[in-house]
Amino acid sequence: MALIDLLLNLAGLIFWHGWRGTKAESPTGSALTLASNLKPAEIQRPRRWLHLVTLLGLLLFRPIFYWHLGSALDWSASWSPGPVILLFRSDFLSRMLLYSFVSFFWTLFVWHTWFCLLSAIHSRRDANPILQGVREQLGWIGRWPGVFQLILPFLVLGLVWYWTVPSLASAGLMPAPRTGPHLVQQSLLVAASLLLTFRWLFSAVFVIQLLNTYVYLGSHPVWEFLHRSGRLLLWPLNWLRIGKLDFAPVAGLVLVWWLAFLGERSVRHAFQSIPFPWP
């Protein structure tokens, strides 16, 4: 069920980006005829609203599937922003509906957090079309200085947690914070745990960089973008590049997962230990 939920969330991301679209529009006319050179080609304008309707249909109807199948399998949906795990009982349709939206918007939020990181580490003058598409998906945030793009997701997550925890607690999904300072400490810890999601992005980028170093993957802009992103993320390990041999991606993979293992244990232990003494 967890795999099915992940695949449906990825499908939701496709529908989201189909709705958002890009500024690039493709002409439907052919450039091989004299007539096409004499009059402007007709611009194809996709019906983006269909992607949004499909996405809403997915989020509204998959809870029914979870409700029927989850009850039969005695499955409880779980969602974790890092240090805490929230369980949603599948025998309640309302809980499955809530989980459907929470699960997707968390995936969407993490996806755009990765976009913020990739946008921030690249030069503003970089004309790679993949990078331009990433910044276009970020909208006005993509035009911010890199440091603000890096800080914004953590700030948003901390504030959202601060404002939604009382509602989650009243719904019985988690214990209520003891005091206001307790809630603030929870919010800061949850926001910091967003760093743990970068292990998946880093792993994908480092693996593709490793493959592109020793196997020619072609000249598509996506390979160039990911290879350059890997080099920027691995700049502290540049000393591991010796001639044509590049050990930095392998070392980066090991380091990322080791730090993620330690970080996950530390964050969960800290979350269970709060409230800390408040000055």
DSSP codes of every residue in 109-120: HHHHHHHHHHHH
Residue 86 near residue 175, CB atoms below 8 Å: no
Look up residue 107 and give its two tokens: 């995936």
Residues in the chain: 279
Give the whole-angstrom CA distance, residue 16 versus residue 18. 5
pLDDT value of residue 122: 92
pTM, two decimals, is 0.87
Give the whole-angstrom CA distance, residue 219 versus residue 216. 8
State the DSSP code for 45: -
pLDDT value of residue 23: 58
Residue 151 near residue 117, CB atoms below 8 Å: no
pLDDT value of residue 121: 94
- 10-residue block means of pLDDT along the chain (279 residues)? 90 92 50 46 64 94 90 85 88 92 96 96 90 92 93 96 90 84 90 95 93 81 91 89 86 95 90 70
Give the whole-angstrom CA distance, residue 76 versus residue 70. 7
Element (H, E) at 241: strand 241-242
> Which residues does 57 contact at the CB level (< 8 Å), separation at least 6?
none
117 burial (CB, 10 Å; 0-12 / 13-18 / 19+) is buried
